[in-house]
Amino acid sequence: MVRTQIQLPDDLYRRAKQFAAEREISLAEVTRRGMEALLDRYPPGPSPTRWTPPLVVGVTVRVPLSDLKDIAADEEQRRGLSGR
């Protein structure tokens, strides 16, 4: 067996210690069983590919600069932000 150290948030440590005491097993056994359950649920396999946003080509939104102030004012009014 390999001996190791881990850091746990205080609340997680307290909950795990209580869980172990209620079942009369060691904290190490709780940790082993938890790791086994996690690894059984997510068996080794191909790594998920990293998500990348879709590439959008050829789409342009054009708003005349003269209209931006009116659009912003309308949006503020719609959200109830006008008058601040």
Q: What is the pTM of this model?
A: 0.52
Dist. CA 78–CA 42, nearest whole Å = 46
Q: pLDDT tens digits for 27-50?
A: 999 999 999 999 998 888 777 678
Determine the pLDDT at residue 52.
Answer: 79
| Cβ atoms of 19 and 9 closer than 8 Å | no
Which sequence spans correspond to the domains of the chain? Answer: 10-41
Q: Using DSSP, state whether 49 is helix, strand or coil.
A: coil
